[in-house]
Amino acid sequence: MSKMSKIPVAVLGATGMVGQRFISLLEGHPNMELVSLVASEKREGKRYKETVNWLLDTPMPEESGKLRLYKLGTDFKELGAKLVFSALPAEEAQKVEDKFASDGAAVFSNVKVNRMRDDVPILVPEVNPEHLGLIDVQRKARKGKKSSDGFIVTNANCSTTGFVMALAPLRQFNLRKAYVSTYQALTGAGYPGVASLDILGNLIPYIGDEEDKMVAETAKILGTFENDAITPHRVKVYPTCVRVPVRDGHTETVWVELEQNDMVEVADAMMNFKGLPQRLHLPSAPDVPLVVHTKKDRPQPLKDARLGSPPARARGMAVSVGRLRAHENMIGFTLLVHNTVRGAAGGSVLNAELAISEGLVR
Ligand SMILES: NC(=O)c1ccc[n+]([C@@H]2O[C@H](COP(=O)([O-])OP(=O)(O)OC[C@H]3O[C@@H](n4cnc5c(N)ncnc54)[C@H](OP(=O)(O)O)[C@@H]3O)[C@@H](O)[C@H]2O)c1
């Protein structure tokens, strides 16, 4: 795609933890061109590089640093974008995502507020690409309004994203129950997030809403799409979510009940798991979406959270699985997902790449 034919995109919540990841991941993107950034009113008109507290360990992309910030409430047309990535707090997203979609924007959201709407997909492209069919349902409902081109696609909550990637290849074994405990990184709480005195040398065994999200979103994502609607998967999920003093990468320990517990078959299914993004060679799709580790002490956040390359753009997009073992009728494993890459901005970018490749962004 030439620069001229790249899809112009805007990022809402551009100065936050997830917003910064978007800016980093969109640098030099082959199909999308970052044209507008939106944050809170106090930054209106300022250049990005002059106002943002850049927190990533990679340099700020030079061109993005020069962009001036818009305030939320700026008209969609004024942003000059066709596609919008949303990384706003829930209350703010609630006010604008639907309005943007009604004005014709292809909205790719990281926020919880629209995820459980019947006509909005929670897309994890390797797991449920057929759920993109809900875009047509949204468009039919918007017919006759200002524009019927727009839609909302969400990605899952960060812990759920890693969890469903690991569960997807197990659906064939009649997945019935899944017990999951999470060890969630600090960057998952945004910036400044959890106060240092609350978390240094400590952990917090409660993250508001997180367990309910894992139950509801997992059933929806693994569900089947038929006759314009999703029938949730029947898997029962039993989560416990814990915040730990790790910077990046959510670890999860999982026990699943399947109709068989043949370790070799389960490991094979995970190792060979691929989806539509791999077949289409989407720019941010890791060649190996589930990396199965055989070393007993892996995966670890510091060593494995950025796995995913090749291709180069997929760094942090693979989910790691390790410690695979069988006990009675259960299979146990540990997984790791990069919360702000695959679990947030990178997940949304891959969602957009799939929608663009399917001709859904117009
Ligand atoms: N962090 C993760 O790992 C993760 C993973 C999945 C999903 N999410 C979701 O993604 C969203 C963003 O999370 P985050 O961690 O990036 O949060 P964050 O670091 O707190 O960033 C929030 C962003 O929203 C902007 N914002 C806040 N109030 C605003 C307002 N009134 N008007 C316009 N902009 C406003 C902030 O701009 P200012 O800097 O100008 O205030 C900032 O750019 C949340 O809904 C979160 O639940 C986060």
* pLDDT band per the 50, 70, 90 thresholds, residue 261: confident
Pocket probe for ligand 1: among 40, 48, 92, 340, the residue whose CB has the most ligand atoms within 8 Å is: 40
Average pLDDT over residues 228-257: 98
169, 258 Cβ separation under 8 angstroms: no
Supply the residues annotated as catalytic: 158, 250
Q: Supply the DSSP string of 152-203, one letter for each residue.
A: EEE---HHHHHHHHHHGGGGGG---EEEEEEEE-GGGG-SS-S-HHHHTT--
* Tokens encoding 195: 């106060």
Q: Of residues 143 and 168, which shows the higher confidence score?
A: 168
Ligand 1 residue neighbourhood (C-beta within 6 Å): 13-19, 39-40, 43, 72, 87-90, 92, 110-111, 158, 187-188, 190-191, 339-340, 343-344
For residue 9, the CA-to-ligand 1 centroid distance in Å is: 18
Burial of 191 (0-12, 13-18, 19+ CB in 10 A): middle
Q: Hey, what long-range contacts does 196-204 have (CB within 8 A, 24 or more apart)?
A: 199/243, 199/244, 199/245, 200/245, 201/245, 202/245, 203/242, 203/243, 203/244, 203/245, 204/242, 204/243
Assign 15 a pLDDT band (cuts: 50, 70, 90).
very high
**Are residues 263 and 324 in contact, defined by beta-carbon separation less than 8 angstroms?**
yes
d(C-alpha 293, C-alpha 326), whole Å: 16
Q: Which atom of ligand 1 is nearest to the CA of 18?
A: 16
Ligand 1 pocket test: which of 18, 97, 113, 183 has the largest number of ligand atoms within 8 Å of its C-beta?
18
* CB burial of residue 295 (10 Å; 0-12, 13-18, 19+): exposed
pLDDT in tens, 79-108: 999 999 999 999 999 999 999 999 999 999
21: its two tokens = 């990841």
262-298 residue pLDDT tens: 999 999 999 999 999 999 999 999 999 999 999 999 9
pLDDT band at 3; cut points 50, 70, 90: low
Question: If you ran DSSP here, which 8-state letter would residue 101 be given?
Answer: H
Strands 236-243 and 250-257, sheet pairing: unpaired
Q: 96-141, pLDDT tens digit by residue?
A: 999 999 999 999 999 999 999 999 999 999 999 999 999 999 999 9
Cα(244) to ligand 1 centroid in Å equals 20
Distance 20 CA to ligand 1 centre (A): 10
For 340, the enclosing helix (H) or strand (E) is none
Nearest protein Cα to ligand 1, atom 10: 87
Contacts of 29 (CB under 8 A, 6+ apart): 6, 283, 313, 349
Give the chain's radius of gyration (CA, Å). 20
Q: What is the pLDDT of residue 305?
A: 98
Query: Sign (positive/negative) of CA torsion 280, 286, 289, 291?
Result: positive
60-71 per-position pLDDT tens digit? 999 999 999 999
Cα of 283 vs centre of ligand 1, distance in Å, is 25
Average pLDDT over residues 249-254: 98
| DSSP conformational letter for 142 | H
Mean pLDDT of the chain: 96
- Ligand 1 atom 22 nearest Cα: 16
Q: What is the pLDDT of residues 28-45, one digit of tens each?
A: 999 999 999 999 999 999
Share of the chain above pLDDT 90, in %: 95
CA distance 258 to 235: 10
> Using CA positions, which residue lies closest to atom 2 of ligand 1?
188
> Are 352 and 85 spatial neighbours (Cβ–Cβ below 8 Å)?
yes
Q: In angstroms, what is the span from residue 290 Cα to ligand 1's centroid?
A: 28
Q: At 150, is the secondary structure helix, strand, or coil? A: coil
What pLDDT score was predicted for residue 133? 98
